[in-house]
């Protein structure tokens, strides 16, 4: 099942624990594209009811500036997940970040549960185990709400024994990007964990992820935000070339041709959606910086 890419642009996705209302409010000052308020691993189990109460109180009042509002719920099939769904102000939530997804049935259950709540959030699916990565395409096909995959490298490396390095994670990352491309959703990369206050390392890791096809990356620390946003924002040269390609195909559209010549090279028409997406990201970044 192939669907149109979400209109959302998710260069940077910040995860903030929902039992910390001070951090939730403070996050609004950061230049992130997507805010994730966490009810799962970032919250001590004894404080999850407190975190749910914070969400119910704060989410309707915070000024997100049109940016994405996400809640990370607990794993499907747990009692904590049901408590999350009953407490979240779903009308003020654009998407749910779903952890530990390994099978299509989990998304189908969540789809039905949200329908019973008459709620419309999309689903950002976390693939963080070998089984989840291997089942990525079937999982994404299970629900039309699936708008993105997020790669959770921590649990993946724990189960496989792989190192947290670009070489060791290349297959998993590539598989997730391929599945995302097959169904037409975004792929969000794992956070850079080798130095939360290392903007250079974060930027280099994000550039590698973008090269593979990821459209954004999770961040854990404010110092990572600018480095990630820059990595996933087209350069001026990339933006200019994308504009030339889109304009060239507009010019040849009436003739029914499938190729155009841009900068002395033949360019196929199937490149146009990618170039238009690049222009959309560049325009989004410009609006955010102005």
Read off the pLDDT of residues 116-169 as tens digits, 9 standing for 90 and up: 988 899 999 999 999 999 999 999 999 999 999 999 999 999 999 999 999 999
Q: Which range among 10-14, 117-121, 209-213 shows the weakest confidence by mean pLDDT? A: 117-121
Percent of the chain with pLDDT over 90: 81
d(CA 122, CA 233): 24
Structural domain spans, the chain: 12-231, 236-289
Q: Confidence class of residue 2 from pLDDT cuts 50, 70 and 90?
A: low
**Non-local CB neighbours of 108 within 8 Å, separated by 6+ positions:** 142, 143
d(CA 66, CA 34): 10
Res 79 pLDDT > 90: yes
Computed over every residue of the chain, the mean pLDDT equals 93
Sign of CA dihedral 266, 269, 270, 271: positive
**Per-residue pLDDT at 269:** 80
212 vs 257: which has the higher pLDDT: 212
d(CA 211, CA 111): 32
pLDDT in tens, 167-208: 999 999 999 999 999 999 999 999 998 877 889 999 999 999
φ, ψ dihedrals at 159, nearest 5°: -80, -30
φ, ψ dihedrals at 265, nearest 5°: -120, 145
d(CA 23, CA 90): 21
- Nearest Cα to 259, choosing from 272, 269, 251, 245? 269
For the beta carbon of residue 106, count every other beta carbon within 10 angstroms.
22
* Contact assessment for residue 54 and residue 88, using Cβ atoms and an 8 Å cutoff: no
The gap from C-alpha 213 to its chain's centroid, in whole angstroms, comes to 12
Alpha-carbon distances, residue 88 vs 56, 82, 133, 184, 215 (angstroms):
6, 10, 28, 27, 27
* Contact assessment for residue 260 and residue 40, using Cβ atoms and an 8 Å cutoff: no
CATH number of 12-231: 3.20.20.60
- Nearest Cα to 216, choosing from 9, 70, 29? 9
């Amino acid at each position: 099942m192939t669907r149109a890419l979400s209109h959302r642009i998710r260069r940077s996705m910040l995860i903030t624990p929902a039992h910390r209302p001070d951090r939730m409010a403070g996050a609004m000052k950061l230049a992130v594209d997507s805010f994730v308020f966490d009810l799962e691993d970032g919250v001590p189990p004894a404080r999850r009811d407190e975190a749910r109460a914070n969400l119910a109180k704060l989410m309707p009042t915070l000024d997100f500036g049109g940016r994405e509002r996400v809640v990370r719920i607990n794993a499907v099939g747990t009692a904590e997940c049901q408590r999350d769904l009953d407490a979240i102000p779903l009308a003020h939530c654009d998407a749910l970040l779903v952890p530990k997804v390994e099978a299509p049935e989990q998304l189908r259950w969540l789809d039905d549960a949200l329908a019973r709540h008459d709620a419309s959030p999309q689903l950002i699916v976390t693939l963080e185990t070998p089984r989840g990565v291997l089942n990525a395409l079937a999982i994404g096909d299970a629900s039309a709400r699936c708008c993105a995959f997020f790669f959770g490298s921590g649990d993946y490396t724990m189960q496989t024994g792989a190192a947290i390095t670009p070489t060791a994670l290349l297959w998993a990352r590539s598989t997730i990007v391929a599945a995302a491309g097959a169904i037409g959703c975004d792929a969000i990369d794992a956070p850079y964990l080798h130095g939360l206050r290392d903007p250079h390392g974060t930027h280099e890791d994000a550039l590698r992820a973008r090269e593979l096809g990821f459209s954004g990356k999770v961040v854990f620390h404010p110092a990572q935000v600018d480095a990630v946003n820059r990595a996933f924002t087209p350069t001026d040269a990339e933006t200019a070339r994308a504009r030339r390609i889109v304009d060239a195909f507009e010019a040849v559209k009436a003739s029914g041709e499938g190729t155009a010549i841009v900068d002395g090279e033949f360019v196929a028409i199937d490149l146009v959606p990618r170039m238009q997406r690049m222009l959309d990201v560049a325009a989004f970044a410009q609006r955010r910086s102005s």
